[in-house]
Amino acid sequence: MGIVTPGFTGRPRSGAPELPPGQYLTPDFPVLSAGPTPRVPHESWEFVITTETGAEYRWSWAEMMALPQETPTVDIHCVTRWSKLGTSWQGVSLDTLLDGVDTAAAYALAHSYGGYSTNLPLDDLRAGRAWLVHTYDGADLPAEHGGPARLLVPHLYFWKSAKWVRGIRLGLEDTPGFWETAGYHDYGDPWREQRYQGD
Amino acid sequence: MGWQPARLAHRRVETPTAQTLVLQVPGWAAHLPGQHVDIRLTASDGYQAARSYSLAAPADGERIEVTVQRVPDGEVSPFLLEGYREGDPVEVRGPIGGWFVWRPTESDPVLLVAGGSGVVPLMAMIRARRTAGNRAPFRLIYSVRTPSDVFYNEELRHRVRDDAGLDVAYVYTREAPEGWRGEPHRVGLADVTTHGWPPDLEPLVYVCGPTGFVEAVSDLLVGLGHPPGRVRTERFGPTG
């Protein structure tokens, strides 16, 4: 237990849903980005998976939309301490996109229009735990929330769910992304409160 | 980087709903302007709540400053403003953040655009510039609802007079002071072209405020030709 601050009681605890440590619930959908919001038209959008040998697997917008679609409803947790429960999305499972990709890689680096990047183990993109989503709450994903398409990896802090995602580079070694280079945790499990390097 | 004990040294009222808290943190390491700190409160039953706050000034020895805006129905900010007493402990962790920072060794022109309480990390840059004797030309465009919502009002006035190369322009969105030319409005193209730097000077730009504000201003700046990579943003969500 930490040092008690006299007089602090906090919100009533009873009946509150269980959240990862240090998180609080918000009904809003705050935005956290490092720079201006890129605007990417569907016509020029593409998604590319590049393997460790340099092989490329590409999807246009129409090709991605023609793949089997899923509608995950998930809780999301931002490293800035807000959590939002029961968010509903539509998109393509990374299992579908990785199916047929020939790779021995252990790591993935997601990269985005606008220059953002974030790294995660490739296993965390598999087994029904990650999606490329284009619809939020029944409508096109707004640009400030990462549209036209973003990653959704809800079991990790939300900065791992790269907005405006353009592709994934697979590698045999781990390459830190944007926030990971700026002092944030390499893996980012909210339930183990892995916010910053060394957590 | 673990949690460190800190105590409230004193507080300054900035506006009816915002105060600057000066915390004494034994062993605090230096920080860069733009970085933030996590503050954690623990109740007597062990319940904890933590929030991130931008550091408002360079460290003064082991003293750090944050400016806390009251969030209606918030869990932490109303306590920090109304229930937290001088001398009482909290825990802090930081400094945090390595992107939305200005290094006092930089010499490029700087444009700061603040919406409401988004001025806090930008004020840290203005203060650090003076502390370091840095001569980089600085311009601040500061959007507030009304004149009584301005943080650091007196100090900004003095700095515009005393800190050579610092300009401050105010934009009022709801109510302007008497004698102010123009109608209340949101920051628009004319404000940015009049009070900012042209893109060919290649300024470093920092935009901080609520999401809608940051979206609108950074879109304007990119539209004017500022490279997106030179426009650093920080969006303030609700942080209760």
- The ipTM estimated for the assembled molecules is 0.81
HEC readout, A4-45: CCCCCCCCCCCCCCCCCCCCEECCCCCCCCCCCCCCCCCCCC
Q: What is the pLDDT of residue B41?
A: 96
**Shortest CA gap B213–chain A (Å):** 11
Going from N- to C-terminal start, the domains of chain B cover 4-96, 110-236
Of B105, B107, B131, residue with least CA distance to B204: B107
Across the interface, whether the CB atoms of B84 and A5 are under 8 A apart is answered: yes
Chain B's closest residue to A144, CA to CA, is B215
pLDDT, tens digit (0-9, with 9 covering 90-100), for A47-61: 999 999 999 999 999
Q: Please, how many CA atoms are within 13 Å of residue A25, restricted to the half-sphere of its CB?
A: 13
Strands B138-144 and B110-115: parallel
Angle CA B116–B121–B122, to nearest 5: 75
Mean pLDDT of B144-150: 96
Q: Which segment of A13-17, A64-68, A71-75 scores lowest on mean pLDDT?
A: A13-17
Q: What is the pLDDT of residue B181?
A: 83
Q: What is the pLDDT of residue A12?
A: 76
Angle CA A104–A105–A110, to nearest 5: 145
Across the interface, whether the CB atoms of A35 and B219 are under 8 A apart is answered: no
d(CA A185, CA A126): 21
Using a CB–CB cutoff of 8 Å, tell me whether A38 touches chain B.
Answer: yes
B200: Cα separation from own chain's centroid: 26
pLDDT, tens digit (0-9, with 9 covering 90-100), for B64-89: 999 999 988 889 999 999 999 999 99
Mean pLDDT of B129-157: 97
Across the interface, whether the CB atoms of A8 and B41 are under 8 A apart is answered: yes
Q: Is B205 helix (H, G, I), strand (E, B) or coil?
A: strand
Q: Is B201 helix (H, G, I), strand (E, B) or coil?
A: helix
Of B26, B124, B148, B28, residue with least CA distance to B67: B124
- Give, as one character, the DSSP assignment of residue B98: S
The answer to whether B50 touches B41, Cβ cutoff 8 Å, is: yes
Q: At what angle do helices B153-162 and B119-132 cross, to 10 degrees?
A: 40
Could you give phi then psi for residue B121, rounded to 5 degrees?
-65, -25
Q: What's the Cα-to-Cα distance from A183 to each of A34, A60, B41, rounded to whole Å?
A: 14, 34, 23
Q: What percent of chain B has pLDDT over 90?
A: 90
Q: What is the pLDDT of residue A14?
A: 62
Q: What is the pLDDT of residue B238?
A: 47
The pTM (predicted TM-score) of the whole model is: 0.90
Using a CB–CB cutoff of 8 Å, tell me whether B30 touches chain A.
Answer: no
Across the interface, whether the CB atoms of A196 and B3 are under 8 A apart is answered: no
Task: Report the CATH fold assignment for B110-236.
Answer: Rossmann fold (3.40.50)
Chain B residues inside the 8 Å CB shell of A34: 99-100, 232-233
Query: What is the DSSP secondary-structure string of B136-200?
Result: --EEEEEEESSGGG-TTHHHHHHHHHHSTTEEEEEEESS-PPTT-SS------HHHHHHHS--GG
Using a CB–CB cutoff of 8 Å, tell me whether B31 touches chain A.
Answer: no
Tell which CATH classification among 2.60.40.1890, 2.40.30.10, 2.40.50.140, 2.30.42.10 matches the domain B4-96.
Answer: 2.40.30.10
Q: What is the pLDDT of residue B240?
A: 39
Of A198, A177, A170, A187, residue with least CA distance to A50: A170
Mean pLDDT of A78-84: 90
Of A150, A6, A168, A12, residue with least CA distance to A76: A150
Q: Which segment of A97-101, A191-195, B97-101 scores lowest on mean pLDDT?
A: B97-101
d(CA A125, CA A107): 10
Q: What is the pLDDT of residue A183?
A: 87
Mean pLDDT of A150-166: 97
Which residues, including other chains, have CB under 8 Å from residue B183's CB and lie 6 or more apart?
B176
Q: What is the pLDDT of residue B237?
A: 57
pLDDT band at B141 (very low <50, low <70, confident <90, very high): very high
pLDDT, tens digit (0-9, with 9 covering 90-100), for B177-216: 998 888 999 999 999 999 999 999 999 999 999 989 999 9
Q: What's the Cα-to-Cα distance from A78 to each of A82, A116, B71, B231, rounded to whole Å?
A: 5, 17, 19, 23
Query: What is the DSSP secondary-structure string of chain A?
Result: -----TT---S--TTPPP--TT-EE-SS-----SSPPP---TTT-EEEEE-TT--EEEEEHHHHHTSPPB--EEEEE-TTSEEEEEEEEEEEEHHHHHTT------EEEEEETTS-EEEEEGGGGSTT--EEEEEETTEEPPGGGTTT-EEE-TTS-GGGS-TTEEEEEEESS----HHHHTTB-SS--GGGT--BTT-
Q: What is the pLDDT of residue B29?
A: 86
d(CA B4, CA A68): 50
Domains of chain A: 46-192 (3.90.420.10)
Using a CB–CB cutoff of 8 Å, tell me whether A7 touches chain B.
Answer: yes
